Amino acid sequence: MTELFLIRHGQSSNNALADQSQRVCDPELTEMGQVQAERVAAYLAQREHLVRVGAAAGAGPALDRLYCSAMIRALHTAVPIGQALGLRPEVWVDIHETGGIFLERPDGSGVDRFPGEGRSKILARFPDVVLPEAVAEGGWWNGERESTEEGQQRALQVAQILRQQSVTGQRIGLVTHGDFMSHLIKALLGMRQGPELYIYHHNTALTHLKIPSKKEVVVYYANRCEHLEKVHIT
């Protein structure tokens, strides 16, 4: 039985903007976001995320594996978690935010695409992170803006991989993104993808699911923010 903990990244500079025309393609965390990341790291290290169901529920490590996307805000969030738990965050490119790395042009004429940070730059800033070969020297994102439908399909593929790991019995943490988390949860639960339902998460909020088998999913909680004071919830 695999336990899955989905963690949204801390507040990014784009999240905090009043003027959306000032967005950047791969934002950093704000000071608030850094506080949120430190708080969720401490919360996980204290094992407060584990649901006490049965005598063995609290046994074992807080997490066995910690994955994050290659986006800067996810890396910044994953590093303090890894340090608190004694884990090296592993980049899983396919859990990036829906859309990829892009910016809409101010004149409405389309979008500009960006490759994302390259391998050497990521390792210089985040030396404890484990990078797959998909993160190349020239970056990891070379496509056009990903459509919502393509993001949903990617979530279905990630969900299938996670279901296949149900026999491992591991606790897996994924530091990912709001839109993608919504798509992924719906994919794991076999729900219809579409705009009718959005599963919202605050910055660094947690959702805990158990995957007893390839055909079963149990939801224990969603959008949990106990590690944050009210002033830190964004």
| pLDDT digit string, tens, across residues 170-206 | 999 999 999 999 999 999 999 999 989 999 999 999 9
Q: Average pLDDT of the chain?
A: 93
Give 11 or 213, the one with higher predicted confidence.
11
Say what the pLDDT of residue 27 is.
96
- Per cent of the chain over pLDDT 70 is 97
Q: Read off the tokens for 44.
A: 């996980």
> Residue 143 pLDDT more than 80?
no
> Residue 39 pLDDT more than 70?
yes
Q: Element (H or E) spanning 7, and its range?
A: strand 2-8
Residues 190-219: b if buried by 16+ CB within 10 A, e if exposed: eeebeeeeebebbbbbbbbbbbeeeeebee
Say what the pLDDT of residue 165 is.
86
Please report, for residues 28, 104, 129, 181, the alpha-carbon distance to residue 15 in angstroms, rounded to integers and kept in the order given: 10, 16, 24, 16
Rounded to two decimals, what is the model's pTM?
A: 0.95
pLDDT tens for residues 74-106?
999 999 999 999 999 999 999 999 999 998 887
> Among candidates 230, 171, 175, 232, which has minimal Cα distance to 206?
175
Contact present, 201 and 207 (Cβ < 8 Å): yes
The answer for residues whose C-beta is within 8 angstroms of residue 233's C-beta and 6 or more apart is: 202, 203, 225
DSSP bridge partners of 102: 113
Mean pLDDT of 208-212: 92
- Per cent of the chain over pLDDT 90 is 79
CA 134 to chain centre: 18
Mean pLDDT of 117-123: 97
Q: Quick one: pLDDT band at residue 55, thresholds 50, 70, 90?
A: very low
